[in-house]
Amino acid sequence: MAGKEYVRLNSIFDTVYVIAEGAYVFLCEMKTNISRWSKSAVDFFDLPSEYMYDAGSIWAEHIHPDDRQAYEQSIADVFSGKSSSHNIQYRARSADGRYTVCTCRGMVIRNNDGTPEYFGGVIRNHGLFSYIDPVTGLRSLYGYFDDITGIFCQRRNALFVMLGLSSFSYINDVYGYNFGNRVLQVLSRTLSRFFGSDSTFYRMDGPHFGVISLSMTADEAAEKYEELRNYLQKEFFVDGEKITLTLNGGAVQADRMDVASETLYSCLRYTYNESKHNKCGDFTVFSDIVTADNKKVIERLNTIRGCISQGCRGFYLCYQPIVDAKTEKLKGMEALIRWKDESYGVVPPGLFIPVLEQDAMFPELGRWILRQAMTDGKQFLKINPDLVINVNLSYTQIKKNSFLKELFELIEETGFPIEHLCLEITERCRLLDTEMLKDMFSILRQRGVKIAVDDFGTGFSSLGFLRNIPVDVVKIDREFVKDIRKNTADQYSVKFISELAGAFSADVCAEGIENIEVRDFLKNYNIGSLQGYYYSKPVTVNELLEKINAG
């Protein structure tokens, strides 16, 4: 096909794509039998390329054998001129080998003299959720993913914004769910007043909305956000009722990127949660958090995310010793994740874990960490049978209904003695249901698993967390330890935390021990364990085995 014809094919395809509402689009130049297909269809069904010769025959191989004859007959009628339209339902095989029901509608596009020029149409995958939100009429989260993919395929610049409401459940409780839906409907129409009609709007999960703009800058979005935020707090009415809404918002600027839509969404969720939990609802931009080249950071995250799907390629564990505060003998170690790649070198967890915790793939990495830590732990226990292996859990792991089942399966698979496992959680788990956490940790402790709460004292709900959640160990954050000899406030904080933990029968571990002076100063407090660079930086399995052997 000549270059001019490619331009025309792509122009028509892009026009149809815009109005297809999330369906897969295909367009075939009938003279050459060269077609272009939606990237989302190529990925979902594992097709050779967006551009294909004789795509009808290639697609036929994906159609269920029982449905194939009817499909082939319909396509033959179109290309022979017997029919000018195509409307058929069949089962098509996806990349994972399963069949999903699809409806395909197409028609012949003729040139001015009536000669058939293009055959194009849309395929709707009924195995996917609706692309239109039934409450607001906006495109749904699934449409959002599809549009991200389309923008990345076209290598266009775009600003992705996520907006959400705090304590929206209060409105449902006080006014009822019907009125809550009315609030979402009115808000959905309000968005275009502030962000402009040239943006595209989406209803995501719960009281969350997405905005995609191909022309707006992050600074411009921040100004519009503040205007909307003030309006929702002071002037927002629904059916004559004044409603005060608290808004949170985050954004990611993506400039001609070639990454998975899920990677972008994880960065966006991370940024939004920063706004909600750490920035008091201020508009937060991803580049302001990462303080590095935005595009390179996202591309690196995309690479790391891809490695998870490849059996956690490039990941490995290091271990930092934990010693008894009185005897300074080794009593355990904390497993710490690392990732290494030829292009990026060794990447510490702080540069990828906070974002990937927002990703649906993170539990897979969490399982790998648990399995590897228990496998390595058996080697440590052969030398010192009293050691305990600490493994960090993420919020996303714990909230999965299948977490306990998967954990016990891993323990059985590895043969790791359960009483030597300590699971570390952070106070972010306060966002989970307290009763659920109580039940889960009670089951774990009954089976012999120890529970530690990490970074204790840095959250606003430390006292309530310890009061409500049964734990075995409280780990004092290094921020309270590093300047403790000079900082009176830190001294009082450590004293309070150690006494509080003791009141709830929990041991105390102080992190961040950098030198002998800090170690000696901490002897004034009721602390059972110490951890930090004074004793050892995180080291590989073999290095730690050598340390243990050396005593």
Kindly give, in sequence order, each residue whose CB lies less than 8 Å from that of residue 329, ignoring residues fewer than 6 positions away: 323
Reading the block at residue 199, the tokens are 């943006």
Round to whole Å and give the CA distance between 71 and 56. Answer: 9
* Interval 341-367 mean pLDDT: 86
1-5, 56-60, 197-201: range with highest mean pLDDT: 56-60
CA angle 255, 260, 265 (to 5 degrees): 80
pLDDT of 336 reads 95
How much of the chain, in percent, has pLDDT values that exceed 70?
Answer: 92
Judged against a pLDDT cut of 90, whether residue 329 lies above it is answered with yes
Mean pLDDT of the chain: 87
Q: 431: how many CB neighbours lie within 10 A of its CB?
A: 10
d(CA 493, CA 507): 16
Q: Which CATH superfamily is domain 311-549 in?
A: EAL domain (3.20.20.450)
Half-sphere exposure of 43 (CA within 13 A, CB side): 11
pLDDT at 13: 67
Residue-level pLDDT at 7: 56
pLDDT of residue 355 exceeding 80: yes
- Count the neighbouring beta carbons within 10 Å of the beta carbon of residue 208: 17
Burial (Cβ within 10 Å: 0-12, 13-18, ≥19) of residue 391? buried
Does residue 472 surpass a pLDDT of 50? yes
Per-residue pLDDT of 488-521, as tens digits, reads 999 998 998 898 888 888 999 999 999 999 999 9
The candidate with the shortest Cα–Cα distance to 161, out of 209, 205, 194, 196, is 209
pLDDT, residue 119, reads: 92
Give the pair of three-digit tokens for residue 519: 């170690």
pLDDT at position 529: 96
Q: What is the mean pLDDT of residues 222-245?
A: 94
In a 3-state reduction of DSSP, which class is residue 72? Answer: helix
pLDDT of residue 413: 95
pLDDT tens for 10-39 read: 666 665 554 455 678 899 999 999 999 988
| pLDDT-above-90 percentage for the chain | 51
pLDDT tens figures, 514-551: 999 999 999 889 999 999 999 999 999 999 998 888 76
Domain range summary for the chain, segments of one domain joined by +: 3-125, 141-291, 311-549
**Is residue 460 over pLDDT 50?**
no
pLDDT at 459 over 70: no
pLDDT value of residue 220: 95
Tell me, yes or no, if the pTM score tops 0.75: no
Residue 255: per-residue pLDDT: 81
User: What is the pLDDT at residue 516?
Assistant: 94
Task: Please tell us whether the domain made up of 141-291 is placed in CATH 3.40.630.40.
Answer: no
d(CA 547, CA 539): 10
Q: What gap in Å lies between CA 225 and CA 247, rounded to an integer?
A: 9
Q: Do domains 141-291 and 311-549 have the same CATH topology?
A: no
**pLDDT tens profile 432-451:** 777 888 889 999 999 999 99
What number does CATH give the domain 3-125? 3.30.450.20
pLDDT for the residue numbered 18: 47
**How many CB atoms are located within 10 Å of the residue 93 CB?**
15
Q: What share of the chain is helix, strand, coil (3-state, %, to 5)?
A: 45, 25, 30
Q: Give the residue, 182 or 129, on which the prediction is more confident.
A: 182
pLDDT band at 8 (very low <50, low <70, confident <90, very high): low
Contacts of 21 (CB under 8 A, 6+ apart): 131, 132, 139, 143
What confidence score (pLDDT) does residue 261 get? 85
pLDDT of the residue at 63: 94
What would the mean pLDDT of 283-287 be, rounded to a whole number? Answer: 91
